[in-house]
Amino acid sequence: MTHQLTKKELRETKSKRVDFQSIPRNNIYIILDSLKCAHNIGCILRLADCLLVKKVFICGDTILPPNRKIKAGSRGAEKWVPWQYEKDATKITKELKSQGIEIVAVEVTDNSLDYRKYKPQEAVCLIFGREYDGVSQELIDLADVSIHLPLLGMSNSLNVSTAASVILYDVYAKQNAKS
């Protein structure tokens, strides 16, 4: 389980970059599949920092830091969270899968599971899709499971960073729950 820092520890740690980088990170990876909105990318990088996500792969046709709009969403979190650009999301997904990491497409599909019923493995990679077309079919096919957040109203989807917030906190809580 990840060490939960007190506010005092957090303040002290934040001033010592070297110490911060030695904190064990959670076994959660994120793939962003060709996200187009810089603000969304920034918000997800900030979220990834808040939850000590192991790594964010920003993939495909996208926008990368340094970028003014990403920074507005991330509040500079790209400095703290490990991230890398990967042109080919399929390649990195296969690589993570071959390392035994559970691949989870976060998307509404015909077969997706309600996120409340999903039990994460020890190491998971969450794939979030592009604002207009979602996670590519190729990545959905590669995934071990697809999960969705129920949509009860007229909207077909949530904003990607809103969906990421709910799913990431849920996965983090389930992985760290005392059995």
Site for ligand SAM in 114-133 (CB under 6 A): 128-129, 131
Specify the residue, 70 or 147, whose C-beta has the smaller distance to ligand SAM. Answer: 147
Q: Does 47 bind ligand SAM (CB under 6 A)?
A: no
Q: Which helix (H) or strand (E) holds 171?
A: helix 160-176
C-beta of residue 42 within 8 angstroms of C-beta of residue 79: no
Binding mask 81-120 for ligand SAM (x = CB under 6 A): -------------------------xxx------------
**Sequence letter at residue 48:** A
Q: Does 48 bind ligand SAM (CB under 6 A)?
A: no
Specify the residue, 66 or 153, whose C-beta has the smaller distance to ligand SAM. Answer: 153
Q: Under 8 Å CB-to-CB from 103, ≥6 apart: which residues?
A: 93, 96, 97, 124, 125, 127, 142, 143, 144, 145
Which residue's entry shows tokens 């709910």? 166
Q: Give the shortest CB-79-to-ligand SAM separation in angstroms.
A: 25
